[in-house]
Amino acid sequence: MTSEKMRTRFAPSPTGYLHIGGARTALFNWLYTRKHEGTFILRIEDTDQARSTEESTKAILDAMSWLGLCWDEGPYFQADRVKIHQEMVEKLIDEGKAYYCTCQPEELEAKRKQALAQGRKPKYDRTCCERGLAKSADSVVRFRCPDVGATVLRDLIKGNISFNNEELDDLIIERADGYPTYNFAVVVDDALMGITHVIRGDDHVNNTPKQIHLYEALGYEVPLFGHVPMILGADKARLSKRHGATSVMAYKDMGYLPEAIINYLVRLGWSHGDQEIFSMEELIGMFSLEAVGKSAAVFNPDKLLWLNQHYIMSYEEERLIETMLPFWRERGFDTSDHRFIRKITADLRPRAKTLVEMADSGTFYFREDVAYDPAAAAQFLTPEYAGHLEAVRDGLPGLADYTKDGVEAFLRALADQRGTKLKWIAQTLRVAITGKTVSPGIDEVMVTIGKESALRRIERAIAASRQG
């Protein structure tokens, strides 16, 4: 199959947000298509009208855009194509390949229980197959699935998988409300959209033999299939909310960068030697389905944090500032002074693993009346340390070289004069200025906030120390 003909798709259902697992499937499709210069299609599978929402559709589109997974065609909406699906259902009925069924749920459940009790596979017994029923208010349409021989799935990831046709069911392809079921709609849409490669999660493996029979019954060419193993939590159970966030946009809100998410997701089940960090250009060049593992991948949040920290450090300065602005503004901080924001960002980025951590750890830059951490205040804002603060207050106004190096030299000289270690003066200053014992270097902080703000904070801390 030539690259010019390659057409892939990502087809999420808008019944919730874009899940991490779905995002990885979209990414694998996107990379594979870009590598082969094919066409990547986005289709929203919204035929489940009771559960599909516009909010979920928007969330999926937003997540795809945020990740940079731009599509070449679409988004198409499956619900807009119901008439086409219905025509294809009629075609199968006319050809004797599908039939109306009026068996009620309670009847089917009773038959299912009976089959299980007798040690048989609980498949539909074809009660309505030869009855020649016409369409009615409560009828569904079933596809007459071949029941002899075997169907072989030549999976691009898992290899050959054989299914005994005798175990396949006469699946419902149209519900009583006239809407197609997933297995039917996806076959018709993939065929009519010219999809050549179906790359999806391996929870669809058991659907594939039924879909292959539908392709053949409708006279369509069967595409190539590749089923990606699922993602597990650390406990080896399927990834779920109890393992942490599973929505892509939740990670955006938590301060993760899209490059980190992309880099992390691609390494969940795919590898290229020992390389851990990839640019998008490298991924497009290197990605192959042959290198996708056959077993499930385990989600490691610590690895994702490590990658996020890497990208925070590697982001171009102005881009990082622009990405950070919503987090500052969400906290009610004034971001109008771009020079000030640039300095804060430079101070904080070496320590931050997420943008949220960066925003929360830097609140002291924006307010002089910092809240003192009780334990820090109890240790450092005391009469014993007040003399250090007073010495800084008295000497700082005359410091001409108010730079990082100049402040550091000033504090070192002050420590020598007072016969103490630099760390005791620096830590006392840190609590006075930031309210806590952990922050970027206190010399950097003092330069960023400016001499006047530093002096006001020190004066306030002296008062608190004398009261203590």
Tens of pLDDT, residues 237-264: 888 777 767 899 999 999 999 999 999 9
* Sheet architecture: strand order including 140-143: 98-101, 140-143, 172-174
Residue 65: CB atoms within 10 Å: 12
What token pair was written down for 431?
């609590």
pLDDT of 455 over the 80 cut:
yes
Provide, rounded to the nearest whole percent, the portion of the chain with pLDDT above 90: 91
pLDDT of residue 444: 97
Rounded to a whole number of angstroms, the distance between the first and last alpha carbons of the chain is 79
Average pLDDT (126-154) is 95
pLDDT of residue 239: 83
pLDDT of 65 over the 50 cut:
yes
CB 28 within 8 A of CB 199: yes
pLDDT of residue 294: 93
Average pLDDT (284-288) is 97
| Nearest residue to 28 via CA among 223, 238, 198, 186 | 198
pLDDT of residue 48: 82
* Per-position DSSP letters for 255-267, written without gaps between them: T--HHHHHHHHHT
Given pLDDT bands bounded at 50, 70 and 90, which one contains residue 135?
very high
User: Helices (DSSP H) in 206-337: which residue ranges?
Assistant: 208-218, 248-253, 258-266, 280-286, 301-314, 317-330
Q: Are strands 39-44 and 7-10 parallel, antiparallel or unpaired?
A: parallel
Given pLDDT bands bounded at 50, 70 and 90, which one contains residue 277?
very high
Given pLDDT bands bounded at 50, 70 and 90, which one contains residue 468?
low
**Choice among 241, 294, 343, 404 that is catalytic:** 241
pLDDT of 1 over the 50 cut:
no
Given pLDDT bands bounded at 50, 70 and 90, which one contains residue 3?
very low
pTM over cut 0.85: yes
Q: Are strands 39-44 and 73-77 parallel, antiparallel or unpaired?
A: parallel
pLDDT of residue 240: 77
CB 307 within 8 A of CB 242: no
309-319 pLDDT, tens digit each: 999 999 999 99
408-438 pLDDT, tens digit each: 999 999 999 999 999 999 999 999 999 999 9
Given pLDDT bands bounded at 50, 70 and 90, which one contains residue 34?
very high
pLDDT of residue 87: 98
In whole angstroms, give the CA distance from residue 378 to residue 79: 65
pLDDT of 446 over the 60 cut:
yes
Given pLDDT bands bounded at 50, 70 and 90, which one contains residue 4?
low
CA torsion, ordered 444, 448, 451, 453, to nearest 10 deg: -120
Q: What's the mean pLDDT when you consider all of the chain?
A: 95
170-205 pLDDT, tens digit each: 999 999 999 999 999 999 999 999 999 999 999 999
pLDDT of residue 317: 96
Given pLDDT bands bounded at 50, 70 and 90, which one contains residue 115?
confident
pLDDT of 357 over the 90 cut:
yes
pLDDT of residue 122: 86
pLDDT of residue 2: 42
241 is catalytic: yes
